[in-house]
Structure 1
Amino acid sequence: IDDHGFHRALLTHHEPREVIMKINQLRRKAGGTSIDSKEVADLMEKCSACQQHTPEARHPQIMVYAPPGSGKTTALNSGAITAIDTDWLGTGFTFNEACGWFWYNGFSILTNNLDMVLTSGTKVFGFLN
């Protein structure tokens, strides 16, 4: 929750608390811990990248698969992509369970879960090294 990429995803939605509530719902279902919205707000106030945040053009809605260690967090933090990272949500979900609400609300999805991508029903273009 202290990654600027997470903050960027929240800043793109008209109601960031709604996004945190949905993430918490999934995290609890997966047996994980909830995110405290007050803690997120405090971290965003201290985040130097958030302080420099300027409104930007919204990226097209896409689904991106990248294997672990390939730079997903770096891409999110740098602003190369604004998306929901499925690592924030917990494990053991289908695409619709984990990402359906976010996809419907216009978020791009970034994941290292290949099965989730292959069963998403979305067209995926790209290449895998």
Structure 2
Amino acid sequence: MKYAIIICAVLLVTAFATDFPRAQGTAQSITASRVDVVQVASGYRASKVIGSTVYNESRDAIGTIDDLIVSPKDKVTYAILSVGGFLGLGTHLVAVPFTSLQVADKQMRLSGATRDSLKALPEFRYALP
């Protein structure tokens, strides 16, 4: 439930960051673009990605995807990884570009990473609303 709310919030922020056509006063101009729905449907649903365990190339579990964030400036998606800790306590959150993750054998992989190398990255903190 928490993740569904977060995903909805990200979608709303992204939607409100763009210019909406106005109902009154100015002419509306909406540009629609065609999307290859077959290609989109073969993508990864955020609800399935969030909570996934991340492994390195040695198949060691190195973290869990805690969240996905879309950058407002360049629209790049970042995976927020939870590293270390136990039952949510003492975890270290780090941000990595989603493009650095690969899917292999139905597992999320981050090549060249270890728990220690991820813990050495700057800690990610959510901006206050």
Taking structure 2 as the reference length, the TM-score comes to 0.23
More helix per residue: 1
Taking structure 1 as the reference length, the TM-score comes to 0.23
More strand per residue: 2
Task: Decide which structure has the larger Cα Rg and report it.
Answer: 2
